[in-house]
Amino acid sequence: MKKNLLYIGNKLSHNSSTPTSIESLGFSLEQIGYHITYASGFKNKVLRLLHMLYATVSRAGSTDYILIDTYSTTNFWYAVAVGKVCQIFKLKYIPILHGGKLPQRHQKSPQRSKNLFNKAYKIIAPSFYLFNFFQKEGYNNVVYIPNSIAIEKYKFQERAIFKPNLLWVRSFSAIYNPLMALKILEILLEDYPGATLCMVGPDKDGSLKTCRQYAKIRHLPVIFSGKMEKKEWIELSKEYDIFINTTHYDNTPISVIEAMALGLAVVSTNVGGIPYLLDHDKNALLVNDDDIVAFAKAIKAIINDPAQSQILTLNAGKKVENFDWQVVKTQWTKILT
């Protein structure tokens, strides 16, 4: 018999936010028979927290496991509060680690972190970056289960040439450094007047306005598409050859995994969990955080050596098979039995 789950997280895509794990993983678990209740979809943070706590208490007698998306900023405190309620009611809860800054959060709030994670039934780390960190901190209940995609939904497009057509997919937030993408484009335009950039994603902290103003002042050929449904941006990706990930902090971003599955050449900053996901010069090119010149140089290398770039994308397509839901789901069912 499949279990009853309560999934705690930010289910906010209906409020123009990017879908997060609670929607992708939750849907996948439902498809294999788990009954899931979600909290919360309230945009207001106070109401969201109250709904999370109410759901935890009201379902204490009917829930087998509580999954808690755990981030490093405000949402960390949601996990702490829900974890405390679970401890009071002796419920099995499973923090799912997200966000490349969780190690810094652990160091900044050590007692709260230890109380939350030590008493968890299991801790799920979607990257070896966080898995290794939590193991080093002495947690023996941490399990590596990667983020996943349904690979059959992604058609790998093999490219013979790589044009300076750049695709960026993320929420517009300072931690993802979207302005860097525009500055990279500026450099590329010096050698490739036909270079273009499409930035897909909703605004999170005002960064979209900043980017729009920067692009307007400098007359940059940038498309700001806003939030797009997954099917839409997958279709859009056919028009682009290079995927850029400019983030300051990261864990195991689904957008990068999707780009690998689609055959896009990936160039990324070498931060957080990225070097655990991407192998420099094997399936992607990596540069240091905020190094605009090096990033542009890496893109030029992709363009100027299409044979090597083809090898990178084929290797990436091969590696991403490990992130297929058909592979990953067995790891989840093992945890939730």
* Residue in this structure with the two tokens 């605009």, named with its chain if needed: 292
Residue 118 C-alpha from the chain's centroid? 25
Distance CA 330, CA 333 (A): 5
Q: What token pair was written down for 220?
A: 């940059």
Distance CA 334, CA 270 (A): 32
Give the CATH H-level superfamily of domain 4-145.
Glycogen Phosphorylase B; (3.40.50.2000)
Question: Which strand (E) or helix (H) includes residue 108?
Answer: helix 102-108
Label residues 85-97 b or e (16+ Cβ within 10 Å = b).
bbeeeebebbbbb
Supply the pTM of this predicted model.
0.93
Count CB neighbours of 33 within 10 A: 10
Residue type, 190: E
For the chain, domain boundaries: 4-145, 151-322
Closest CA to 264 of 246, 279, 242: 242
CATH number of 151-322: 3.40.50.2000
Query: pLDDT (tens digit, 0 to 9) for every residue of the chain, 337 residues total?
Result: 679 999 999 998 776 667 788 999 999 999 999 999 999 999 999 999 999 999 999 999 999 999 999 999 888 999 999 999 999 999 999 999 998 899 999 999 999 999 999 999 999 999 999 999 999 999 999 999 999 999 999 999 999 999 999 999 999 999 999 999 999 999 999 999 999 999 999 999 999 999 999 999 999 999 999 999 889 999 999 999 999 999 999 999 999 999 999 999 999 999 999 999 999 999 999 999 999 999 999 999 999 999 999 999 999 999 999 999 999 999 999 999 8
What is the maximal distance between C-alpha atoms in the chain? 64
Same fold, 4-145 and 151-322: yes
Distance CA 268, CA 280 (A): 9
